[in-house]
């Protein structure tokens, strides 16, 4: 069974199924199609499926022509989970958010597995790419597969291989980013590595699915903790009237022992603000309290309020109140040069300002209209950055420093600039407030 599936993969005869067609799923679609595989995509969102089948993209950094190319090569998208029966490899890359108690919410993973379970058959591989806590693949997926009568490791194969996409980063592609893979058994790992080697330059095997799950968490917790450290250093430097960006730039000249991380208005994206809490939750099962990780989370979560407080102080210096003030938030994506708004701290800043009766608008060339979001509701659209528009606001907040903002235009015409990204680091203009 194993050798037959590996042969189908190596001969490019295998049908690849991608479940979840977002920032992780779509790059996988293109990678497998480009490698010569037949690919079918499955998503619960009818609008996404319709756009893809028409050859259109809904993600800014993935252009329409790439989607049109994969459709021309035979890719199809559907909301029908029964197509799982036709697939040789099934890859799940759906969201793994937190619930309101900041505990893991695996409903999208579980719902996907339960939706495809009736259609699973011998000779298939299932790979989970969604970020999760150690033990998820073995504890949540394997029993549901075994309940169908399949023998995981003998006639069905299961791996965990965490996604490592970095939306908008032109220096690293799906192919060039090394891929971690852990198997439920050695046979599972063998098949999983065979699959990913067809599209990834380097596949790194680890001893188990739990080791692969923990690897992904360590990567993101490493970033979250170091960003929390530099955000705290920013507050200390500010009280001492020091420029944290000058200090970071000086420190990173040391050729060893220091890695530069930069402060901001908080953490965004689907990984770094969420993943640490997957481990803190799981650690409690073992009687452990991850104080270091949770402290970093508290610091990072407090940054939107820090930015608003800096705005309030600056307005006070101008004898103005935040209530009724007109505020323009520049950039509402979670990082520059993308349209990804997941967990964006800019949106939290907008909510805090609105709750304090400020009049809030935003400008973001990547987000022309504020999208429908599960937790945030704003009925507004992006404001064009012009001389006249900038002058009518009491202050602008640089929340996300997109490269295509005209920063000289902003500097020349904004009444007050709250710079949370260090875009004007080194500029001594009194209208610029470091935040």
Q: Distance (Å, rounded) from C-alpha 423 to C-alpha 435?
A: 11
Q: Distance (Å, rounded) from C-alpha 171 to C-alpha 11?
A: 30
Q: Whole-angstrom distance between the N-terminal and C-terminal Cα of the chain?
A: 59
Give the H or E element holding residue 204: strand 203-206
DSSP conformational letter for 137 = I
Query: Do 276 and 270 touch, CB atoms closer than 8 A?
Result: no
Q: What's the longest Cα–Cα distance across the chain? A: 76
Report residue 214 as tokens: 């923990």
Q: List phi, psi (to 5°) of 7.
A: -65, -40
Query: Do 303 and 231 touch, CB atoms closer than 8 A?
Result: yes
Is 181 assigned a catalytic role? no
- Using alpha carbons only, what angle is made at residue 257 by residues 253 and 262, rounded to the nearest 5 degrees? 60
Query: Do 152 and 139 touch, CB atoms closer than 8 A?
Result: no
Instruction: Mention every residue, 6+ apart, whose C-beta is less than 8 A from residue 401.
Output: 330, 331, 336, 421, 423
Give the H or E element holding residue 76: strand 76-78
Pairing of strands 156-160, 179-183: antiparallel
DSSP conformational letter for 81 = G
Query: Do 141 and 126 touch, CB atoms closer than 8 A?
Result: yes
Query: Do 345 and 267 touch, CB atoms closer than 8 A?
Result: yes
Nearest to 280, CA basis, from 263, 298, 261, 265: 298
Tokens 């973001």 appear where?
364
Tokens 């409903």 appear where?
107
Q: Which residue numbers are catalytic?
A: 271
């Amino acid at each position: 069974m194993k050798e037959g599936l590996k042969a189908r993969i190596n001969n490019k005869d295998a049908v690849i199924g991608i479940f979840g067609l977002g920032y992780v799923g779509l790059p996988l679609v293109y990678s497998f199609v480009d490698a010569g595989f037949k690919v079918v995509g499955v998503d619960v969102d009818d609008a996404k499926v319709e756009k893809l089948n028409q050859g259109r993209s809904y993600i800014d950094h993935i252009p329409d022509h790439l989607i049109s190319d994969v459709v021309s090569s035979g890719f199809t998208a559907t909301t029908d989970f029964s197509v799982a029966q036709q697939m040789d490899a099934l890859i799940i890359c759906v969201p793994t958010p937190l619930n309101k108690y900041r505990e893991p919410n695996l409903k999208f993973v579980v719902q996907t597995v339960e939706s495809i379970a009736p259609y699973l058959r011998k000779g298939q591989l299932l790979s989970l790419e969604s970020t999760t806590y150690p033990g998820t693949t073995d504890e949540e997926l394997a029993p549901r597969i075994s309940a169908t009568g399949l023998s995981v490791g003998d006639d069905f194969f299961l791996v965990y291989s965490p996604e490592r996409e970095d939306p908008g980063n032109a220096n690293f592609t799906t192919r060039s980013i090394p891929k971690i893979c852990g198997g439920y058994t050695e046979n599972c790992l063998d098949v999983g590595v065979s699959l990913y080697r067809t599209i990834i330059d380097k596949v790194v095997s680890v001893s188990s699915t739990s080791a692969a799950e923990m690897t992904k968490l360590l990567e993101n917790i490493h970033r979250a903790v170091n960003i929390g450290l530099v955000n705290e250093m920013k507050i200390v430097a500010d009280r001492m009237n020091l420029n944290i960006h000058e200090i970071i730039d000086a420190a990173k000249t040391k050729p060893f022992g220091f890695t530069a991380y930069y402060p901001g208005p908080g953490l965004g994206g689907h990984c770094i603000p969420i993943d640490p809490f997957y481990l803190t939750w799981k650690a409690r099962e073992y009687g452990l309290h991850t104080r270091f990780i949770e402290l970093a989370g508290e610091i990072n979560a407090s940054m939107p309020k820090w930015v608003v407080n800096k705005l309030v102080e600056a307005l006070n210096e101008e004898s103005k109140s935040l209530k009724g003030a007109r505020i323009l938030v520049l950039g509402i994506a979670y990082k520059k040069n993308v349209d990804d708004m997941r967990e964006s701290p800019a949106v939290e800043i907008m909510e805090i300002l609105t709750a304090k009766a400020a009049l809030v608008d935003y400008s973001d060339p990547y987000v022309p209209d504020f999208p429908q979001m599960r937790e945030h509701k704003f009925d507004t659209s992006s404001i064009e950055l012009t001389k006249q528009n900038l002058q009518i606001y009491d202050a602008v907040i640089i929340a996300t420093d997109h490269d295509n903002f005209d920063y000289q235009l902003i500097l020349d015409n904004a009444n007050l600039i709250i710079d949370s990204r260090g875009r004007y680091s080194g500029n001594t203009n009194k209208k610029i407030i470091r935040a």
